[in-house]
């Protein structure tokens, strides 16, 4: 069996045989051993899932409990090659700091009060996508998908760069979703075309981000570019926009953004030299297992 065949077999749960020794629920446990023995298994965040969602009015508590108690695990962390995750929330006070007022990402710009971020092992995107499409179809069929929500900004993305404030000191990007950062800023920038995006990325990586990070409460910025979703994605998730032109930046903050916004981040809307900043949105981390901040969303 080729490496590609082994990976595909494990991701789909199909072994070509049933009732074999060590099988559980019709899937041979040996398939998992084969998957573990081949392919990349580093710790670099080669890919990310970044998803900003708006629960429908009146369903905020139900949405939060569904996501925290079930979907975060069954629909994300239990999947192969998705090795780190963290949820973030924007209270009404944080929503009102967002820019620009007319955003190509969020209409209105305050839409999307929850953000979930996940790292996927570099080189394992295709295998992970096979699994995530399969498991989400199953969750939907089993009635384990909360329907009273809107996906404002949801896409898988490929890692392009990480810029650190303190060089080699401090947590690395693969630690970012486990380290207890006090806040996060989601920034989305659109360039005019693929060549312009490449030039923008180079300017951000070598000049703009190092200058902005110096002396700021942000420890690092990770930069991603979106990838198209598969054709068999769930129907409630729209196809990704800006695949050839967009960059997504995640700023990891050591302070609550409300405490340092005016001094350090209120002018991030001007950062997109060579591109249009379509969203600057601050968040703070949720407190897992609680409904903290739910009463501050509206």
Same domain for 93 and 30?
Answer: no
Same domain for 124 and 23?
Answer: no
Mean pLDDT in order along the chain per 10 residues (298 residues): 39 37 61 88 95 98 98 96 98 97 95 98 94 93 95 95 96 98 97 95 96 97 90 61 92 98 94 85 98 98
Domain total of the chain? 2
Kindly state the greatest CA–CA separation across the chain: 64
Same domain for 57 and 186?
Answer: yes
Distance CA 20, CA 42 (A): 31
159 SS3 class = strand
At 18 the pLDDT is: 34
Same domain for 249 and 176?
Answer: yes
At 23 the pLDDT is: 45
Same domain for 6 and 148?
Answer: no
Same domain for 25 and 79?
Answer: no
- Domain boundaries, position 20: 1-39
Map tokens 């963290």 to a residue.
Answer: 86
Same domain for 158 and 25?
Answer: no
Same domain for 194 and 280?
Answer: yes
Same domain for 92 and 155?
Answer: yes
> 128 CB contacts (<8 Å, ≥6 apart)?
11, 47, 79, 80, 81, 82, 120, 121
Distance CA 51, CA 113 (A): 11
Same domain for 72 and 22?
Answer: no
CATH of the domain at 240: 3.30.70.100
Distance CA 117, CA 48 (A): 7
Same domain for 25 and 135?
Answer: no
Same domain for 149 and 199?
Answer: yes
Distance of CA 204 to the CA centre of its chain: 20
pTM summary value: 0.88
Residue pair 113/55 in contact by the 8 Å Cβ criterion: yes
Distance CA 262, CA 257 (A): 9
Distance CA 167, CA 189 (A): 25
């Amino acid at each position: 069996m080729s490496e590609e065949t082994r990976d595909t077999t494990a991701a789909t749960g199909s072994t070509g045989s049933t009732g074999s020794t060590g099988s559980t629920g019709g899937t041979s446990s040996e398939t998992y051993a084969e998957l573990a023995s081949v392919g990349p298994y580093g710790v670099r965040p080669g890919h990310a899932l970044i998803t900003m969602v708006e629960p429908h009015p009146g369903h905020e508590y139900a949405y939060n409990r569904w996501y925290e108690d079930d979907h975060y695990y069954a629909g994300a962390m239990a999947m192969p090659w998705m090795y780190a995750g963290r949820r973030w929330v924007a209270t009404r006070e944080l929503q009102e700091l967002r820019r620009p007022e007319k955003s190509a990402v969020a209409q209105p710009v305050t839409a999307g009060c929850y953000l979930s971020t996940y790292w996927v092992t570099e080189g394992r995107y295709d295998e992970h996508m096979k699994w995530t499409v399969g498991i989400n179809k199953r969750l939907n069929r089993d009635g384990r998908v909360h329907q009273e929500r809107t996906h404002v900004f949801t896409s898988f993305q490929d890692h392009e760069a990480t810029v650190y404030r303190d060089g080699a000191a401090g947590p690395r990007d693969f630690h970012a979703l486990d380290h207890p950062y006090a806040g996060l800023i989601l920034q989305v920038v659109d360039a005019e075309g693929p060549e312009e995006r490449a030039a923008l990325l180079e300017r951000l990586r070598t000049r703009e981000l190092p200058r902005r990070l110096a002396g700021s409460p942000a420890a690092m910025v990770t930069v991603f570019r979106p990838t198209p979703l598969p054709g068999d994605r769930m129907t409630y998730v729209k196809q990704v926009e800006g695949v050839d032109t967009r960059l997504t930046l995640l700023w990891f903050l050591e302070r609550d953004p409300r405490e340092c916004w005016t001094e350090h981040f209120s002018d991030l809307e001007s950062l997109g030299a060579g591109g249009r900043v379509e969203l600057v949105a601050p968040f703070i981390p949720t407190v897992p297992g609680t409904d903290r901040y739910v009463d501050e969303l509206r």
